[in-house]
Chains A and B, each alone.
Chain A
Amino acid sequence: MEFKDLFYYPFILGAIYLFGVVIWRFTKWFIGLSKIDKIRVRIGLFSKKTLKSIWESIREGLLHRNVFRNNKLLGYMHMSLAFGWFLLIVVGHFEASSYHGSMFFPFQHSVFFRYYVTDNVDFPGHVFFAYAMEILLFFVLSGVMLAYFKRFRSKAFGMKRTTRMRYGDRIGLTALWLIFPMRFLCETFTAGVYHNGSPIFNNIGDAFASLGNLEPWLNPLWLTYSIVLGVFFVALPYTRYMHIPAEINLIFLRNWGVTLKERRVNTYTLAQVYSCSRCGICIDACQLNLAGIKNSQSVYVLKNIRNKNLTDEVLFNCLICGKCQEACPVGIDVNKLRITQRIETTRQYNSSYDYLKTSEAKKTDIVYFAGCMTHLTPAIKKSMLQILDAAGENYWFMDENKAPCCGRPLMTAGQFDAAQKLIDTNTKMILDSGAKKLLVTCPICYKVFKEDYTLPNVEVVHHSEYILDLVKQGKITLKASDKNVVYHDPCELGRGSGIYDQPRELLSQSVTVKPIAHEREKALCCGGSLSNLKISMDERSVLSAQVMNEFASYNPDYVVTSCPLCKKTFAKTDILPVKDLAEVVVENLTPRS
């Protein structure tokens, strides 16, 4: 057999292997989904959701819009590599089709087109294709250059850090880095000998030819190109580049409605884990860096799950503030993913809380549940009670003396089974009261009451919503003051529950809320999060001081938040006075005439 019948085998075998592994994985992931999720997929398959997924795959998998939004240079790098390569394949296929006069021909004929077609044949569009393919190759090469550059100087990408690599990743990365320069050399050298390119490559080829005879180089180069492609394809499933097919798969599954709601580690976890491109955007979004914690960011956790070496030290060293999830261009549900892992690792040691007994509920319209944290911030508790009294509301202070915790701190620690007992006990008390509203002054409680309790006909309200409602109904009136404040969005209330406007609207009745850099979806965590079980107090202090110093740069009269834990955490820094919404309201309450 001749060289031309053999050289493409590394490529073909690699490609077959890759497709085999990817299809096997996708099948395995689908089979491992829960029954409900499988039904969701079956229903979704022939709906608009599939079309939406196709569009999203193009937008995110090829164009990388979300990366662009985060960082233009990084977006261009990803886009030129992905979209450029995709176009090379597609346009290359059309070029070969035009040459063969048929859509059907051996696959290698399009990939190694310039190897096979060295004589100057005239086929429809050959000039266009020659130019197009070469320009596309330059486009991809520009991305590769940026990738080299990023490895060595990630700061230029507005990124402080880049991900650390393992051995397998290095092979994949090296192969990927070599693919397009090799193709460039193959095609220009070939053009130098046969003039089978556009004038661009022909001239470059001539330049190379002036250095010596190129012909002996051709076969080794094309073989190397084929090998590099083959190596990349074989390595791909075992490196981060698995994200290329996995992300597309994830987009479809997500749009069809597959979720981690069942809170079991299933194959959807893997479908997400493999979709991580390790772009490193989550590392920069993470505040823990400031405290010198550099191994527990989402990208590392996903990697650890994939490599089956996730430790509790890494898993539990996370504030679950949601900043990385907000920033993730792939839209991986990292918070749920992490909590699911926590459930898994702590499953063996849940508690039963047999001592819990429900005490008698008082019949009322509104149940006020202060929560554990609010009991350590008596100013919030007192203000809330004052507001309830001022509005003349009929309420019952459910945990004035005692009540179980809401259960959320247990849940973020993975102790879902344990939390259920607390949830059941509190649910019974709340329902027994016959209340229509459950008022909470703590966003941690708010989130769990809203999402994990079953409270038919009971509206769960955070005090920011509730007080705003009182103002709108005219039950209380607030006067204006000349104070300037900065409002801090608590993670559980903002990113966690989507409540951004109500606190601001309420505050604007009495004070001026200054806009700041990190607010709403971009708000920073106070550092006090209970979801992190590993962080030390000193490390927490570093985070809170950073946030408070940012607030101080706006020269507010004081900082307002709407979470007792944020308040206590910030107060510890002693940088600026901190108040809860309820306190600001009480200060500006006009007595009823």
Chain B
Amino acid sequence: MDFGFSTLEARSIDFDKFDGRILRYVLQYEPSLLVCLSCGGCTATCSAGNLTDFNIRRLQLMLRRGEVENLQTEINKCMLCGKCLLVCPRGVNLRNVVMLIKKALVHFKNQEN
């Protein structure tokens, strides 16, 4: 998955450059994202992940780490099928998280323009 970095270059997560706008937006409406324990159940069963390079668990984790590059390209791969919802042991409402990320991206883009 392309998150704008390659494993060849050293690149650490810089918490001081944390871009938390989208994260805050998502959490405001879907706080259940907070309880994710990164078990990967969602990614394992993911219909889109079965067809392309798409890792929803990692994507939300990156969002929580303030890494939002390529978020738009990545999040658009989700087909909203809902399998993740049925396997999540923590009951994260992941479909809403996806829709909120999509919305937030447009929202902040419009704000910038």
Contact = CB atoms under 8 A, between A and B. Distances in A.
B102 to A, nearest CB: 4
B86 A355 contact: no
Contacts of B20: none
B24 to A, nearest CB: 16
A409 interface: yes
Contact of B103 (A346, A375, A530, A568): A346
21 contacts: A312-B29, A346-B99, A346-B103, A349-B103, A351-B78, A353-B77, A353-B79, A355-B52, A356-B51, A372-B81, A372-B83, A376-B87, A401-B50, A402-B50, A404-B47, A410-B80, A413-B95, A413-B99, A415-B80, A533-B99, A534-B93
Contacts of B48: 405
B76 interface: yes
Nearest to A356: B51
Given A355-B77, A402-B50, A349 B91 contact: no
Interface of A: 312-313, 316, 346, 348-349, 351-353, 355-356, 372-373, 375-376, 401-402, 404-405, 407, 409-410, 413, 415, 422, 530, 533-538, 565, 568
Chain A CB within 10 Å, residue with most, of B48, B51, B52, B83? B51
Nearest to B92: A537
A348 B91 contact: no
A409 B81 contact: yes
A422 B79 contact: yes
Interface in B25-66: 29, 32, 45, 47-48, 50-53
Contact of A348 (B29, B78, B106): B106
B83 A375 contact: yes
Interface string B63-102: 0000000000000111111110111000101011001001
A368 B85 CA distance: 24
Among A349, A373, A568, max chain B CB count under 10 A is at: A349
Interface residues of B, number: 29
Contact of A533 (B76, B78, B91, B93): B93
B91 to A, nearest CB: 3
A565 B78 CA distance: 19
A355 B53 CA distance: 9
B93 A538 contact: no
Contacts of B52: 355
Contacts of A405: 47-48, 79-81
A313 B29 contact: yes
Nearest to B99: A533
A217 B102 CA distance: 66
Nearest to B87: A376
B71 to A, nearest CB: 12
Contact of A355 (B32, B45, B51): B51
Contact of B83 (A352, A373, A533): A373
* Residue of B87, B91, B96, B103 most packed against chain A (CB within 10 A): B96
Given A348-B106, A404-B47, A372 B99 contact: no
